[in-house]
Amino acid sequence: MHSEQEMFDLILETARNDEHIRAVIMNGSRANPNAPHDRFQDFDIVYIVTDVAPFKYNLEWIKRFGEMMILQMPDDMADPPSDNADGFTYLMQFADGNRIDLGVNPPSMLPELVKDSESIVLLDKDGIIPPLPPASDRDYLPKPPTAKAFTDCCNEFWWVCPYVAKGLWRAEITYAKYFQEHFVRDQLTKALNWRVGVATGFAVSPGKYGKYLKRYLTPAEWALLLKTYADASDEQTWEALFAMCDLFRSAALRVAAHFGFAYPHGDDARVSAHLRHVRSLPKDAQEIY
């Protein structure tokens, strides 16, 4: 496996030796001083080039970075369609374990590219990049919710829970799992991020998809969060759903108390009772109530 320094040397040597590449920016977790450092971190690199065309679909050019395990070119994909009309991106996972996410972009995209707070200038041949503030995760910190955002989050959480219950009663586990792991969990994670924000003054990041939540939740909250992950059995999925409800309620009530928001106790009580009822409903029932 190429060492971290060898990868940086390769990235920068490539840029220095190519007259078309005028600047190099690194962003992502390697530019974030608060992110844990390990060998699985990607090298998120942007090359600013005079002309993007020679770099597009140039599979010979990218061979210099290592033996490829798998390559993705998102700007060449139809689902989802690319909105990157001016630049081009190579996502490269190498056989030695390293990964480079490499964007090739014209100077016209610089104003947008340097907005990211996790940005460090590695090379600037022409002085075209303005001075940047020290890199940090400030753009990725949770933001205090508005009353509307909080209300919508609570409404969506309790609205979708009956979908999971319906799927479980019908023995449609994939349907139930879809709504549980997409819609219900999204709102739970949002509430937990706000709860962490309340406890920390919105000064720390819970990480993408809540990957750092363990740092900031209490041991009891963390244990309950782990219970929200189930196998494919109906029983485990029911237990996970009720754990989600308990954890959401706890987090949302703390957020509501902090900001003076109204928590929908009525929705909570009615939906929670419905979930318990559906769980005990016989499979041959002809009526719900």
pLDDT tens, position by position, 177-233? 999 999 999 999 999 999 999 999 999 999 888 999 999 999 999 999 999 999 999
pLDDT at 7: 95
Residue 75 φ/ψ, nearest 5 degrees: -75, -5
Q: Which long-range contacts (CB under 8 A, 24 or more apart) does 1-5 make?
A: 1/39, 1/96, 1/97, 1/98, 2/66, 2/96, 2/98, 4/39
Residue type (1 letter), 67: E
Say whether domain 141-280 belongs to CATH 1.20.120.330.
Answer: yes
pLDDT tens, position by position, 133-178? 999 989 989 999 999 999 999 999 999 999 999 999 999 999 999 9
pLDDT tens, position by position, 23-51? 999 999 999 888 888 889 999 999 999 99
Show the beta-strand stretches assigned E in 107-204: 119-124
Taking the C-alpha atoms of residue 235 and residue 171, their distance in angstroms, rounded to an integer, is 11
Q: What is the pTM of this model?
A: 0.88
pLDDT at 34: 83
The CATH class of 4-139 is alpha beta
49-25-66 Cα angle (round to 5):
80
Q: Within 10 A of 226 (CB to CB), how many other CB atoms are there?
A: 11
Domain limits, the chain? 4-139, 141-280
